[in-house]
């Protein structure tokens, strides 16, 4: 079971101290031994966080990367090899917040290829808008995002798919259990053997319902992961 903490644009060096509570929790609660925990902080914290977590069970990832594998004149950008060099093992690509800033499926495809070539594991985000959901074209949208985003990628063993409906990000809303189970089944049907996570307002209040959807392989957690108590509650309740 994956628990991926997407810190988004949050945190300074002092924020790393909050992870101590999570580390202490993991030592005490043996039922979490199968949990795979990954922190994806801002780029400014990847190196110090990777050093802090070097001898622990927690891995570190990034929140995005540039499409180019090599150095270049891309002011303000960081590529996948640079991320790996400072300790990242994973990278989130295709998050709805980045798509809203202009990322399209073809660009996402290039980023995924670059990340895999650099040795990073990819957390590939897909999801529909509220308008698309109301039009009942969710599967059509997801299929397009997956088809273009994963085009010509033969070896997918280092790709995890995160289904995060755009309308659920930061709203507190989540799909009902029946719809979510069907959507995850659809995604898995198109991508045999790939893990599928759910993301979108995951918090300590709704995790009891989400954990009962058996085909979900874990959670991509946004704002709640910035608070160690809430993050621990999500992990703890998943195994209770």
Could you tell me whether strands 2-6 and 218-221 are parallel, antiparallel, or unpaired per DSSP bridges?
Answer: parallel
CA distance 50 to 84: 10
For 130, phi and psi rounded to 5 degrees? -65, -40
Determine whether 164 is an active site residue. Answer: yes
Q: Which of 66, 69, 95, 103 is catalytic?
A: 95
Could you tell me whether strands 2-6 and 36-40 are parallel, antiparallel, or unpaired per DSSP bridges?
Answer: parallel
Nearest to 135 by CA among 101, 178, 167: 167
Nearest to 119 by CA among 61, 160, 80: 80
CA distance 121 to 16: 23
Q: Which of 97, 103, 164, 209 is catalytic?
A: 164
Please classify residue 153 by burial: count the beta carbons closer than 10 Å to its beta carbon, then call 0-12 exposed, 13-18 middle and 19+ buried.
middle
Determine whether 66 is an active site residue. Answer: no
Nearest to 35 by CA among 15, 59, 51: 59
What tokens were used for 163? 């289904």
Rg of the chain over all Cα atoms, to the nearest angstrom: 17
Question: Which of the residues are catalytic?
Answer: 95, 164
């Amino acid at each position: 079971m994956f628990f991926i903490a997407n810190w988004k644009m949050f945190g300074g060096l002092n924020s790393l101290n909050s992870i101590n509570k999570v580390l202490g929790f993991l030592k005490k609660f043996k039922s979490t031994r199968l949990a795979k925990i990954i922190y994806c902080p801002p780029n400014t914290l990847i190196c110090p966080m990777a050093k802090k977590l070097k001898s622990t069970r927690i891995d570190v990832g990034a929140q995005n990367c540039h499409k180019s594998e090599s150095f270049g004149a891309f002011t303000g950008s960081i590529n996948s090899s640079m991320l790996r060099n400072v300790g990242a093992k994973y990278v989130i690509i295709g998050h709805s917040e980045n798509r809203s800033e202009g990322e399209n499926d073809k660009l996402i495809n290039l980023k995924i290829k670059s990340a895999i070539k650099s040795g990073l594991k990819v957390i590939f985000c897909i999801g529909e808008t509220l308008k698309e959901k109301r039009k009942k074209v969710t599967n059509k949208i997801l299929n397009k995002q997956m088809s273009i985003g994963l085009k010509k990628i033969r070896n997918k063993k280092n790709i995890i798919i995160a289904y995060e409906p755009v309308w659920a990000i930061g709203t507190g809303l989540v799909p009902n259990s029946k719809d979510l189970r069907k959507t995850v089944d659809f995604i898995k049907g198109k991508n045999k053997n790939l893990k599928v996570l759910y993301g979108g307002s995951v918090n300590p209040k709704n995790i009891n319902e989400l954990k009962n959807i058996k085909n979900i392989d874990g959670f991509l957690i946004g704002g709640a992961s910035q608070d160690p108590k809430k993050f621990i509650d999500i992990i703890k309740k998943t195994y209770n």
